[in-house]
Amino acid sequence: MTCIADFFTYETTKSVVVKSWTIGVINRAVQLLIITYFVGWVFIHEKAYQIRDTAIESSVVTKVKGLGMYSNRVMDVADYVTPPQGSSVFVILTKLILTENQVQGFCPEMEDKYSCKNDSQCTGRSRNTGNGYLTGRCVNYTYRTCEIQGWCPTEIDTVKVPIMYEAENFTIFIKNSIRFPLFNFEKGNLLSNLTSDHIKKCHYDPTTSPHCPIFRVGDVVRLAGQNFTKIAEKGGVIGIKIGWGCDLDRSWDYCIPTYTFTRLDSISEKNNVSPGYNFRYAKYYKHENGSEYRTLLKAYGIRIDVLVYGNAGKFNIIPTLINCVAAFTSVGVGTVLCDIILLNFLKGADQYKAKKFEEISEVNLPSDRSASTEMFKSTQTLSGGRIDEKQSTDSGAFSIGH
């Protein structure tokens, strides 16, 4: 029965005014910190009064310009940029290893691990060598090696070839258009203050020309914290990030992009298994008799990834009300903290507990209203000494003086 009686109880708040400089300063300091946080960080910095759209829609068009010299040949955009469609991901070739006049046939495998003394050493292993299929024959070359069927002669990619240093001065033009569908807001990175004459002359600089959409390759590599010679030698992936942070409560002109640069494959740069970036492709031709041959190219280059991100915000009453309620509710945290200090750490904690927590049984309640009034007006002497107690002007509030 005791458990049932304890379950069917009711608790109500009893207001006790504690006149203490220590606890008063703590209470107001905590409230001030909470208000400062919500005003300074939540509302001013994070703009919590706005509804935000992070589902940015974006299109990127790129164009590379510049001439280079490689293996006594003049290289233009069609030679060193792939793919040629002007997409957001493209490669600027900086080094090429060519294997010319390859035809389908039989030839010796050039890798040292396929050296042999007899045919039996060419049959007890995987047929696929990477350059072709083993025929099972051991043939004479400058040394005896296994024969393959495939494109011949096979590629030798360990030769030293120069890099195209002119690529450092190539320029990249980026045209970016974005849209925030929630607000039906559209804009591009070609700002209204940019004229055709200015675009022809400007190059991006984070200080002097931060809105120019033309980027010098050497500057992009440098701003990504890389060395052009090293990345041109082994290849690598550079990211050009276009960030849009738009406050639509302000003028349309204030929504402008920012550009940052980073190396995206920095992990592969540090290992010896497959450092850098390279790939192979081939150019196919036909002899007059109709037989096919090709030139195989192993290309090293700087891959550029143009990445677009952003969000837009605009005033909305719903997030404003939600965060205002959260702010007012959080101010009550000061009361919780002060109660913990009063009940456990300050001198006179027992007196505060006696005033804050009071248990009243139904059988002990006076039937007379005046008797009830006299109960609240009574003066008590608590353990630990006498204190002055007086009725607060608040309904049901007690004041404890220290």
Q: Which positions make up the binding site for ATP?
A: 63-65, 171, 278-280, 298
DSSP string, 110-147: -SGGGB-SSGGGGTSS-SB-SSEEEEEEEEESSSEEEE
Task: Detail the residues annotated as belonging to a binding site.
Answer: 63-65, 171, 278-280, 298
Q: What angle do CA 185, 189, 194 make, to 5 degrees?
A: 120
The answer to whether 81 touches 90, Cβ cutoff 8 Å, is yes
Main-chain dihedrals φ then ψ at residue 96, nearest 5 degrees: -130, 135
Structure tokens at 207: 């200080």
Return all residues near 91 (Cβ < 8 A) that are at least 6 apart.
81, 82, 277, 279, 299, 301, 302, 303, 304
Residue 94: how many CB atoms within 10 A of its CB? 29
Q: Find how far residue 334's CA is from the centre of its chain.
A: 36
What distance in Å separates the CA atoms of residue 89 and residue 92, rounded to the nearest whole number? 10
Structure tokens at 220: 């992009």
Tokens 């790939």, located at residue: 279
CA distances in angstroms from 104 to 154, 292, 297, listed in the order given: 11, 8, 16
In the three-class reduction of DSSP (H, G, I as helix; E, B as strand; rest coil), residue 72 is classed as coil
Helix axes 317-331, 333-344, angle to 10 degrees: 10
Shortest CA distance to 92 belongs to which of 169, 35, 155?
169
Tokens 């740069």, located at residue: 269
The answer to whether 69 touches 96, Cβ cutoff 8 Å, is no
The answer to whether 388 touches 401, Cβ cutoff 8 Å, is yes
What distance in Å separates the CA atoms of residue 290 and residue 292, rounded to the nearest whole number? 6
What is the torsion angle, in degrees rounded to the nearest 10, for the CA atoms of residue 357, residue 361, residue 364 and residue 369?
A: 70
What distance in Å separates the CA atoms of residue 239 and residue 174, rounded to the nearest whole number? 13
